[in-house]
Structure 1
Amino acid sequence: MLVVLCFTLVMFTGDRGNTPRLGVDLQGGTRVVLSAITPDGSSPSPDALEQAQEIIATRINGLGVAGSEVLIDGETLVITVPGQDGAQARTLGQTARMYVRPVLNAQPAPNAEQSSPDEGTATEDEPRATLPGDADEAAALIEEARGTRQSEDPETQAATLAEHECSPLDPLAGNDLPDKPLITCSNDGQVVYLLGPVLIEGEAIDSGSVSGGYNQQQARWEVSFRFQGQASDDWAAFTRQSVGQQAAFVLDTAVVSAPVIRDPTPAGSATSISGNFTEEEVRDLANQLRYGALPLSFEASQAQTVSATLGLASLEAGLIAGAIGLLAVLLYALAYYRLLGVIAGLSLAIAVGLVYGVLVLLGRYINFTLDLAAIAGFIIGIGMTADSFIVYFERIKDEMREGRSFRSAVERGWQRARRTIMTGNAVSFLAAAILYLLAVGQVKGFAFALGLTTVLDLFVVFLFTYPMLSLAIRSRILSNPRLNGLGAITDVARERAQQEQARAGSRTNVEGATA
């Protein structure tokens, strides 16, 4: 039933594809170089680069085990993701500095398209980027933008608001001053806003409360969260005093949502950011808010295609090696265990089917990618599944050597074997979990695959192998020692019984003669 359910989900949900996602080493990927830009044009500190690397790696983990890499190269970060779409890599490198600012004024952008914008605006397919150029040029552009778009002079504000044209290339992205007003645009470039100084910073968001989902009542995608500490009280006070006004949620100077405050929000209550979001945009935004802003702003280069480091030939070689190993195990099991070997073969087939189906679903829903290290983890895990069968079968043989019937041996052997099986799998899962927590890159994928297969091993042994043997003992044919491969064990048990009877008879004769 689990196998049927698994493959039903594979065939009738999502994109209905039946192949797993492949990692960079097998299918190639996309590489994006993020160049750090500081407001004064100075070189970024090593600590800031390491912190940015850690946050981006955490964002990747928040999207699932995606087989991506984040490396520091001088004053740049290099992100490599599987596949040919570089949008995800550029999104991961977005500064994601969230501010909540009051809306002082708003009007259509001079270069806006003729459309009616929504109060909540959607993020673009391409994230907002910083201006290109060397560090000195970028610093000069940042200073110039601050002089006009963050001016406190009303005349300068009015002139800039009327003339400002929206562009995804914003020198203030991640570099705006929180204690100054800001003239900026909605993410769709339709509206220009004059915003007041920052009310609440993104660091005040409770990361554990961030979630993205679909609001059935409002029929829209949204991200919900709660503010923590003093920010929760500040937000409650602001909404109480500003009913009917707009508050802008600003992400790297882009207004992602500017809802009208309809009712006061009590302290500690959830707040949501909504708009014309897609599911992917909501997931990315929630991921950015959950793991915090980068300490630096970055300029993203054009995405470059990276060829597979190993290639499909290595994938085929790994799969062939695994298939040969499983076939050898099956042939040995059939020759040594006969009927028990058939059940072992069916159990292994079930295990392989479950692993493949779950692999496809994980690639679809959490972006798990199959690389050569993960293949090794799956093969080792399936091999350990075979170990569980052997433990159980040998327990059955031990019981039969002691003179018990096949029926009795199956039940008593299971009672003795299951604790050993659970202990062995617990040790393997613990090792995989520790390796997953401490490792990075492909080693993390290996640990994930090993841990997953270990869990599926228990499902197979408890829900298939043992029930199949419980059915076999009800059949006269399958219980026949000459057919189920336990004839030699039965002969050994008979010989032991005869020897015991002979020894018992000898002791009786000796005792009688002594008497």
Structure 2
Amino acid sequence: MAPPAGRVRPGRYLAFFALIVVALYSLVFFTGDGKPTPKLGIDLQGGTRVTLTARTPDGAEPSREQLNQARQIIETRVNGIGVSGAEVVLDGQNVIITVPGEEGEQAKSLGRTAKLGFRKVITAQPAAAVPQQQGGQQQGEAGQPSGEPSATPDPPPTGGGSAPGAAPAQDPSPPPDSGNVQDEIAAEIQAAKEVRQNPALVPADPNDQAAMLAAQQAQQQAMAQLNCAAQDPLVGNDDPQLPLVTCNEDGSEKYVLGPVFLEGTQIEDASAGFNDQRGAWVVNLSFKSQGADTWADFTSNNINERAAFVLDTRVVSAPNITVAIPDGRTEITGQFGQQEAKNLADVLKYGSLPLSFSSSDATTVSATLGLASLEAGLIAGAIGIALVFIYCLFYYRMLGVLTVLSLILSGAIVYAVLVLLGRWIGFTLDLAGVAGFIVAIGVTADSFVVYFERLKDEMREGRTFRSAVPRGWVRARRTILASDAILFLAAAVLYALAVGEVKGFAFTLGMSTVLDLTVVFLVTHPLVALVAKSKRLSSPKLSGLGTVQRLGEQRRRATGRVGAAVKEA
């Protein structure tokens, strides 16, 4: 004969749950780094927050499509450099990069436009004044890998400068909500173009003496007006089809460059490597087939000329071409450190941004406030859980003990899942996530209450504790599934629509809801069934169900008296 609906074999369910716990903690302790601690967000361990403000050459507001594309590229760069737990979100016209821990320095270069172009050097001269800055990068060489012929650059002037792969120093820009910021930006860009991208800088006919003289005068005037230490309004906004007057990255040399003959979009791959022959870090480029052909043609037709590698309007390297490079394999060299070379390779590899951005506003976030808030939240949560435990023990007695045990086991699997998600998908726990877990504890406790009250309803109708368990479970199960399904759906919608910390709250709430069902089905219900089978544990005095049991007995007696009276009648 089949068992009544709702009957279970408690041992099997509890054994299956124990197997899940063993599997989870085996993964926690014996895979990855073996550290049983979850990854913490920026508010709990500190980190860096970088704010980038978009700017367009015509002064118009950037489209949402452009901002989303820029966010996706920056997010790809974040993933490419291996920064875990980072977050890239849009806030109006700003892109905000949040990096927890001590990896924030790597995020400061992620907002580079990374607009790379190869231009012919028309003329070059040392800058009148070289800004005294820390670090530096000088012009380097373009060539093939070690052991093959390579181009040799002229010796560069010495001088300090900004680190390659990092955003150049820029003056503070007006706040994005000021009155005519976009109009001012557009005017600034247009004024710079009129001087530094004048078509007359490079005459169409080199044999026209008058045009050559006018071009030389325009070149000298443009270079005289160019301040290498100031913010460059043309970053990300230069016209590749026009000549360009610009500086190298350390501000030690000024250049007049021809139009772009090879776009950076033709780069197939970029990687950082150590060149043993030069004893320095370099960036290795490989081109797509069309780009390799263009580079081969240029190097073969411009022997003893110079080519400039221009990244975001700044010359990264400007070597002499001494031999042709037929296969396109090229090195960018300079005074690179390992991290600087890797940063530059990453921004080139993962694509250029559709917008230019004003100078990065990098803020170091201390974990002190977050930890204080976490401590206060955990204390409040502990007090709340303690009150729930006391109430359950007082009101439900043995069933309250099962509630406490179920919540402890729920917390155990939640912790293991947090650790594993941190390793596998880089999930980081922040204050919003902690709030989601605290809310989920209330939801889990509510599921227990629904089940226990259904048991009491069955016993009030005259059934014994043992017979009430399977029947009450069938009725409670529907309610629990319905309420958890609604909560999970709400969490999923919130996760899809929200950004930032709210998304973390939604994720933890949804995950806890699923784990709540696991605990209720595999732990709570089987334990109640075991208690119901035990005469000692199910005694009215110990179970706390004496009152409803007496009401059930009175109901049975009353029903029996009514039945007897009906028969007599």
**TM class by smaller structure:** 0.5 to 0.7
- Note if 1:14 corresponds to 2:73: no
What is the aligned counterpart of 2:529 among 435, 446, 470? 470
Letter in 2 for 1:29: G
**Aligned counterpart, 1:445:** 504
SS of the residue corresponding to residue 478 of structure 1 reads: coil
C-alpha displacement at 1:238, in angstroms?
A: 7.5
- Note if 1:353 corresponds to 2:412: yes
- Does the 8 A contact of 2:115 with 2:264 survive in 1? no
SS of the residue corresponding to residue 387 of structure 2 reads: helix
Larger Rg: 2
- Note if 1:433 corresponds to 2:492: yes
- Note if 1:296 corresponds to 2:351: no
SS of the residue corresponding to residue 81 of structure 1 reads: strand
- Note if 1:408 corresponds to 2:467: yes
1:295-333 per-residue CA deviation (whole Å, 9 max, x = no partner) reads 223465484413358332211110011111111111211
Please show how residues 352-391 of structure 1 align to structure 2 within 5 Å.
352-391=411-450
- Does the 8 A contact of 1:179 with 1:197 survive in 2? no
User: CA 1:201–1:429 in structure 2 vs 1: closer, same or farther (change >3 Å)?
Assistant: farther
**Aligned counterpart, 2:60:** 45
Query: Which range moved further: 323-332 or 431-440?
Result: 431-440
Query: Which range moved further: 402-411 or 373-382?
Result: 402-411
Letter in 2 for 1:9: L
Letter in 2 for 1:18: P
- Does the 8 A contact of 1:29 with 1:307 survive in 2? yes
C-alpha displacement at 1:358, in angstroms?
A: 2.2
- Does the 8 A contact of 2:69 with 2:354 survive in 1? no
- Does the 8 A contact of 2:86 with 2:97 survive in 1? no
1:413-456 per-residue CA deviation (whole Å, 9 max, x = no partner) reads 22221121111001111111222222222222222221111111
- Does the 8 A contact of 1:389 with 1:461 survive in 2? yes
C-alpha displacement at 1:457, in angstroms?
A: 0.7
User: CA 1:369–1:88 in structure 2 vs 1: closer, same or farther (change >3 Å)?
Assistant: farther
What is the aligned counterpart of 2:372 among 313, 328, 339? 313
SS of the residue corresponding to residue 37 of structure 2 reads: coil
**Aligned counterpart, 1:31:** 49
Letter in 2 for 1:295: P
Once residues 86 and 549 of structure 2 are traced to their aligned partners in structure 1, the CA distance between those partners, rounded to angstroms, is 53
User: CA 1:338–1:130 in structure 2 vs 1: closer, same or farther (change >3 Å)?
Assistant: closer
User: CA 1:94–1:430 in structure 2 vs 1: closer, same or farther (change >3 Å)?
Assistant: farther
Once residues 504 and 356 of structure 1 are traced to their aligned partners in structure 2, the CA distance between those partners, rounded to angstroms, is 56
User: What CA RMSD, in Å, does the superposition of the two structures yield over aligned residues?
Assistant: 5.5
The gaps in structure 2 that reach 5 residues or longer are 1-18, 119-137, 149-162, 172-184, 206-231, 244-259, 269-287, 298-308, 318-324, 329-337
- Does the 8 A contact of 1:48 with 1:296 survive in 2? no
User: CA 1:110–1:178 in structure 2 vs 1: closer, same or farther (change >3 Å)?
Assistant: closer
1:58-100 per-residue CA deviation (whole Å, 9 max, x = no partner) reads 8659969756655457xx655443333224533542446799x
Once residues 453 and 151 of structure 1 are traced to their aligned partners in structure 2, the CA distance between those partners, rounded to angstroms, is 69
- Note if 1:85 corresponds to 2:85: no
**Aligned counterpart, 2:382:** 323
Once residues 452 and 419 of structure 1 are traced to their aligned partners in structure 2, the CA distance between those partners, rounded to angstroms, is 20
User: CA 1:485–1:365 in structure 2 vs 1: closer, same or farther (change >3 Å)?
Assistant: same
User: CA 1:131–1:96 in structure 2 vs 1: closer, same or farther (change >3 Å)?
Assistant: closer
- Does the 8 A contact of 1:347 with 1:460 survive in 2? yes
Letter in 2 for 1:22: L
SS of the residue corresponding to residue 422 of structure 1 reads: helix
- Does the 8 A contact of 1:84 with 1:305 survive in 2? no
Letter in 1 for 2:62: D
1:158-214 per-residue CA deviation (whole Å, 9 max, x = no partner) reads xxxxxxxxxxxxx99866878899xxxxxxxxxxxxx97569789xx9xxxxxxxxx
Once residues 147 and 537 of structure 2 are traced to their aligned partners in structure 1, the CA distance between those partners, rounded to angstroms, is 71
- Does the 8 A contact of 2:235 with 2:356 survive in 1? yes
- Does the 8 A contact of 1:22 with 1:371 survive in 2? yes
- Does the 8 A contact of 2:170 with 2:359 survive in 1? no
C-alpha displacement at 1:348, in angstroms?
A: 0.4
The gaps in structure 1 that reach 5 residues or longer are 102-108, 120-125, 154-170, 182-194, 206-234, 262-276
Q: Identity percentage over the alignment?
A: 47
- Does the 8 A contact of 1:71 with 1:79 survive in 2? no
User: CA 1:8–1:479 in structure 2 vs 1: closer, same or farther (change >3 Å)?
Assistant: same
What is the aligned counterpart of 2:165 among 128, 133, 137? 128
- Does the 8 A contact of 1:392 with 1:417 survive in 2? yes
- Does the 8 A contact of 1:129 with 1:299 survive in 2? no
- Note if 1:484 corresponds to 2:502: no
**Aligned counterpart, 2:452:** 393
- Does the 8 A contact of 1:433 with 1:451 survive in 2? yes
Q: TM-score normalized by structure 2?
A: 0.57
- Does the 8 A contact of 1:179 with 1:198 survive in 2? no
User: CA 1:411–1:430 in structure 2 vs 1: closer, same or farther (change >3 Å)?
Assistant: same
**Aligned counterpart, 2:250:** none
Letter in 2 for 1:484: S
Letter in 1 for 2:165: R
- Does the 8 A contact of 2:39 with 2:426 survive in 1? yes
- Does the 8 A contact of 1:131 with 1:299 survive in 2? no
Once residues 151 and 469 of structure 1 are traced to their aligned partners in structure 2, the CA distance between those partners, rounded to angstroms, is 91
SS of the residue corresponding to residue 440 of structure 1 reads: coil
Once residues 238 and 266 of structure 2 are traced to their aligned partners in structure 1, the CA distance between those partners, rounded to angstroms, is 12
What is the aligned counterpart of 1:457 among 488, 506, 516? 516
Letter in 2 for 1:23: G
- Does the 8 A contact of 1:21 with 1:367 survive in 2? yes
User: CA 1:112–1:54 in structure 2 vs 1: closer, same or farther (change >3 Å)?
Assistant: closer
1:23-49 per-residue CA deviation (whole Å, 9 max, x = no partner) reads 3444433133436577xxx47532258
**Aligned counterpart, 2:216:** none
C-alpha displacement at 1:461, in angstroms?
A: 1.1
- Does the 8 A contact of 2:114 with 2:352 survive in 1? yes
**Aligned counterpart, 1:209:** none
1:455-482 per-residue CA deviation (whole Å, 9 max, x = no partner) reads 1111111222122233334434334344
**Aligned counterpart, 1:56:** 71
**Aligned counterpart, 1:210:** none
- Does the 8 A contact of 2:45 with 2:367 survive in 1? yes
* Paired residue total: 412
Query: Which range moved further: 51-60 or 359-368?
Result: 51-60
